[in-house]
A and B are shown apart, each in its own frame.
Chain A
Amino acid sequence: DIVMTQSPDSLAVSLGERATINCKSRQSILYTSNDKNYLAWYQKKPGQPPKLLISWASIRESGVPDRFSGSGSGTDFTLTISSLQAEDVAVYYCQQYYSTPPWTFGQGTKVDIK
């Protein structure tokens, strides 16, 4: 199984400041044949289902604010919230969908307001 590890487990950021979440996979999730990284990011709020933010490591979903961005390749990925808003308080998960199942999630990163 491909283990996904996020860091930090939690962080508190002032409103309007940048939040950065890291996600590391134990093996590369970059398919060299198509140059795509099989990595998605989700936002999870209590009592709600996860919401897809980003796929293919950097492709933002329609309707997702452009303060959310994804980057990285191979084994190291980052989700950045450029200017934290109150509604961004949530737990964020990365997920790999490389090759065959199981598809695995990171343990989650809780984002709060400082």
Chain B
Amino acid sequence: EVQLVESGGGLVQPGGSLRLSCAASGFTVSDNYLSWVRQAPGKGLEWVSVIYSGGHTYYADSVRGRFTISRDNSKNMLYLQMNSLRAEDTAVYYCARGRDHWNFFDYWGQGNLVTVSS
């Protein structure tokens, strides 16, 4: 059974850092496209970043240069390192798997709230 389980969210001050983790089971992270998608309070869904099976990464303009997506193949884990956090980064963050090397998302984690506030 495919599962994605996130951890690492919480409250952080503006300018601070946080790392989100996503534990995958039922499939191999290195063989798949994995993305982070977020939803700010009362807002819609926003794609944040992707890591392809070959290792290439892409970012939304709103996070490029501040966030880094990575994976640990040995642990079957996905990560999102978030630096220089801003209030507007406050959101529920989801890890999501792209179906068959496409970029629509068939499995999602349960979501992890990140709150950036002083």
A and B bind:
yes
Please determine whether B44 and A107 come into contact, CB atoms closer than 8 angstroms. Answer: yes
B102 — which chain A residues lie within 8 A by C-beta? 55, 97
Please determine whether B44 and A93 come into contact, CB atoms closer than 8 angstroms. Answer: yes
Instruction: Find the A residue at minimum CB distance from B111.
Output: A49
Is residue A70 contacting chain B, with contact meaning CB distance below 8 A? no
Q: Is the interface of B mostly helix, strand, loop or mixed?
A: strand
Is residue B87 contacting chain A, with contact meaning CB distance below 8 A? no
Q: Is the interface of A mostly helix, strand, loop or mixed?
A: loop
> B interface, how many residues as a size bin?
20 to 34
Please determine whether B99 and A50 come into contact, CB atoms closer than 8 angstroms. Answer: no
Is residue B11 contacting chain A, with contact meaning CB distance below 8 A? no
Please determine whether B94 and A49 come into contact, CB atoms closer than 8 angstroms. Answer: yes
Please determine whether B60 and A108 come into contact, CB atoms closer than 8 angstroms. Answer: no
User: Complex: how many Å from CA A95 to CA B59?
Assistant: 17
Complex interface: stretch among B13-21, B24-32, B45-53, B73-81: B45-53
A51 — which chain B residues lie within 8 A by C-beta? 108
CB distance from A99 to the nearest CB of B (A): 10
Is residue B109 contacting chain A, with contact meaning CB distance below 8 A? yes
Please determine whether B99 and A55 come into contact, CB atoms closer than 8 angstroms. Answer: yes
Instruction: Find the A residue at minimum CB distance from B46.
Output: A105
Is residue A90 contacting chain B, with contact meaning CB distance below 8 A? no
Please determine whether B45 and A108 come into contact, CB atoms closer than 8 angstroms. Answer: yes
- List 7 A–B pairs whose Cβ atoms lie within 8 Å, in order of A's numbering: A40-B105, A50-B94, A52-B105, A52-B106, A93-B45, A95-B47, A102-B60
With A40-B104, A50-B108, A105-B47 given, can you name 13 additional A-B contacts, CB distance below 8 Å? Answer: A42-B105, A44-B45, A49-B108, A52-B99, A93-B44, A95-B105, A101-B47, A101-B58, A101-B59, A102-B58, A102-B60, A102-B61, A106-B44
